[in-house]
Structure formats: C-alpha cells, structure tokens
Structure 1
C-alpha cells in the first residue's frame, strides 16, 4: 500500500470522528431553551382585555374618493358593548391632503368608529397643520371618509400671524372637488403679531 492510499484510509476514519465530535459540542454547549416563559401581562390584565375586547395599537388607514389619506391610530382601543361606547387611548391622526399639505391630530383619548365612519378626539386635543397653525381644544369630531372635522367647543390657536381664540372651528371642503379650508367662528379674537407674520 503506497503512502497516498494510507492517507486516504486514515482520513476516512479521522474525519467522521471529528464531525461527530463537533456536532456533540454544538449540542453540549448550546443553551437550554426556556420553556417556562412568562407572559408580559398579569392574569387580571388579560381577563380585562378579553372582557372589554381590547385591541393593542389599532391602526385605521383609508383613502378618500379624492385620493387623500386618512390614518388614525391609538395605543389601545376597546370595542365597547351595548351599554358602553368604544374607547381609545393616546389617539393620533393624520390627514394627507391632495395638495401635499397635512393635518396632524393628537389627544389623550377618544374613539374610532369605522362602522359609523367617524373618529372622536377627546382631552387635550392638538391640531397641527403643515403651514404652521396649531390649535388646542377639548373635543374634535372627524370623519373617516373625507377630510372633515369640527370642534363643538372653544379653541385656542397660534399661527404665522399671531395667537387667536374662537368659539368653534370646522375644517373641510366647501365643494366636492375644492381645497380644504379651516373656518373659525363664534367670537374670533386675534392678537396680530407683525414680526411673527414676517418670518
């Protein structure tokens, strides 16, 4: 038997043994799998979510007939029942206008009602537009089918020309294909700031 044949015979024995040794070390050194993993919710929290039909991080997205984007999301929402209305916490909304503008919405709580085509923002509501207007109020009713909304109560705002208050605010289109307008009514008061307007 020549030298080459002896090496082949030797490697035929050694290489499989080395492979077995490597495989065994993989299994021996691998960490054991934790089968008793705790759920990040308490039993009471799970029962409460099941009872209230709670949903974590719901995200509603839609497009109007004009191609404008509507998005409303929350940290948590409940479906409600016969005696209770649906609720949502940390509600955020975004209306993407056809002209490239945007209206952003935020509130502590509210409700999302796709069945009625509405979303209501409640508690420390902040409305911000892309052109620098920011309005705060207590309640804002909006549509999920078109860019439209209204505040039944007083608003406080600030914008490029100064600070203002009004008894009511609405936004939407006057005509079906028209641009979105924001309208302030019921006792509008404006503190005009020329320096702010020139920026």
Structure 2
C-alpha cells in the first residue's frame, strides 16, 4: 500500500472524528436558553384584562351589498355584561364609497353590534369627507350593511362654502342604488364665505 492510499485511509477515520468533536463542542458551549422572559404588561394590567375581558386593537371589516367598504377599528374593547353593551375606546371608521370617495369617522369611544348591523360613535365625533366637509358632533349612529348614518343631536361643520351648524345630520343613498348624500336639517345656519368657495 503506497503513502497516498495510507493517507486516504487515515483521513477517512480522522475527519469524521473531528466533525463529531466540533459538533459536540457547539452543543456544550452554546448559551443556555433564557426562560425568564419579560412580558410587556404589568401584573395589574393582566389581571384587569382578564377580569374585564379586554381585546386590544379590535377591527371589523365588511362590504355592503353594493360593494362599498366598511372598516371599524379601536384601540381596545371590553366585553359587555348583562346590563351593558361592549364598548371600545378611540373608535375609528372608514367608509369607502363606490365613486372613490371616503368618509372617515373618529370618536373617543363607541360600540359595534354586528348582530344588529350597527356601530355607534360617542364623544367628540369628527366626520370628514374627501370633498372637504368636516363635521363635529357628540353622537353618531351608523349602519354596517350599507353606507348610512345619522346624528340625533346638534352638529357643527365646515366645508367649501363656509361654516355651518344644524340640529341633525343624516347621510346615505336616497334611492336604493343611488349615490350617497349628506343632508342637514332642523335649523341649518350657514356663514357663507365666497372667497373660500372660489378656491
């Protein structure tokens, strides 16, 4: 047997042994797994969430019969009890119209009832549209199965023609498959600003 053959036989034995030694050192020298992981909530937060059954960042997404988009989101929501309905904080909505327009809804809190196809925005409600209308009110009722809503109380707003107020506002389609219109009623007052309208 020549020296080359001896070297090959030697390496056939040495190399696998060296691989086994290297592999075993990887496992022996590896760091231990840290099992004491910190949770980004205090014990009190966890107890409150379990007691109140709080859901973080809930969202509802749906489509109306006509294909319009309805999106409702919140920072957190609590499950209702026998005497109260579920409530959510920092309640936000986005209604996508078929013509490309968008109605955005923001409020301090609100409730959503998919079983009744309704969502209610409460406290510092701000309604804005892509064509420049901005309305503020205290309470807004909306539907989930179509683009429709109403404010049972006073509204204040601003738009292309100036500032206005009214005792009530409704929005929705006047006809079954018609476009969405916004209607102000119950004592409408308008401060007309012609310079602003010309822009």
Q: TM-score, normalised by structure 1?
A: 0.90
Unaligned runs of 5+ in 2: none
Cα deviation, 1:50-69, whole Å, max 9, x if unaligned, reads: 33222111111111111111
Q: Give the Cα separation in 2 of the matches to 1:17 and 1:26.
A: 15
Unaligned runs of 5+ in 1: none
Shift of 1:134: 1.3
Point out the more displaced range, 120-129 or 157-166. Answer: 157-166
Q: Which residue of 2 aligns with 1:30?
A: 30
Cα deviation, 1:147-168, whole Å, max 9, x if unaligned, reads: 1111112112122222222221
Q: TM-score, normalised by structure 2?
A: 0.90
Shift of 1:28: 4.3
Matched, 1:92 2:95: no
Q: Give the Cα separation in 2 of the matches to 1:124 and 1:190.
A: 21
Matched, 1:163 2:142: no
How many positions carry a matched residue from both structures? Answer: 199
Q: Give the Cα separation in 2 of the matches to 1:4 and 1:190.
A: 102
Q: Which residue of 2 aligns with 1:5?
A: 5
Cα deviation, 1:73-95, whole Å, max 9, x if unaligned, reads: 11111120111221101111111
- Secondary structure of the residue aligned to 1:65 is coil
Q: Give the Cα separation in 1 of the matches to 2:135 and 2:4.
A: 87
Q: Give the Cα separation in 2 of the matches to 1:108 and 1:139.
A: 10
Matched, 1:44 2:60: no
Point out the more displaced range, 19-28 or 183-192. Answer: 19-28
Shift of 1:29: 4.7
**Please, what is the CA RMSD of the aligned residues?**
1.8
Residues 64-143 of structure 1 aligned to structure 2 (within 5 Å) = 64-143=64-143
Point out the more displaced range, 3-12 or 143-152. Answer: 3-12
